[in-house]
Amino acid sequence: MNTAERSAFLRGYARLLTSAWSSRRFTERLDADPRSALASCGLTVPDGADARILDETGWAAGLDPDAAIDMWEDGYRTNTFCVFVPSTPQPDRSARLLDVLDRPDAGLLVG
């Protein structure tokens, strides 16, 4: 991903986490129709590809922004786009994501 794509992905991922942690209705939508839920956060899964939501048991790396980007980019190779969404907020790990979003290079598309 180039810098602009990385910034857009991280903003969408932050929206996804915020929505999942603050709305039971959104979490139910994420479980029932992950493709649509991801798209509503700006994370578009290409036609014909699968969308998969991983929780704590599915991925031990946590909310590492670089790992999240790598996992998403792997979707272009595997045709399965995965994101890690813990079922409960994880303040220590979330802070790392927010720190990345606050970096000058992450804010290129923030308007």
Torsion of CA 52, 90, 25, 23, to 10 degrees: -140
**Predicted local distance difference test score (pLDDT) of residue 108:** 39
**Predicted local distance difference test score (pLDDT) of residue 21:** 87
**Predicted local distance difference test score (pLDDT) of residue 111:** 33
35 near 45, Cβ under 8 Å? yes
**Predicted local distance difference test score (pLDDT) of residue 107:** 42
**Predicted local distance difference test score (pLDDT) of residue 106:** 47
pLDDT tens-digit readout, 45-104: 999 999 999 876 544 555 677 888 889 999 999 999 999 888 766 555 555 555 555 555
- Tokens 């190779």 locate to 77
pLDDT of 29 over the 50 cut = yes
Domain positions in the chain are 3-100
CB proximity list for 23: less than 8 A, separation 6 or greater: none
Question: d(Cα 29, Cα 109) in Å, to the nearest integer?
Answer: 27
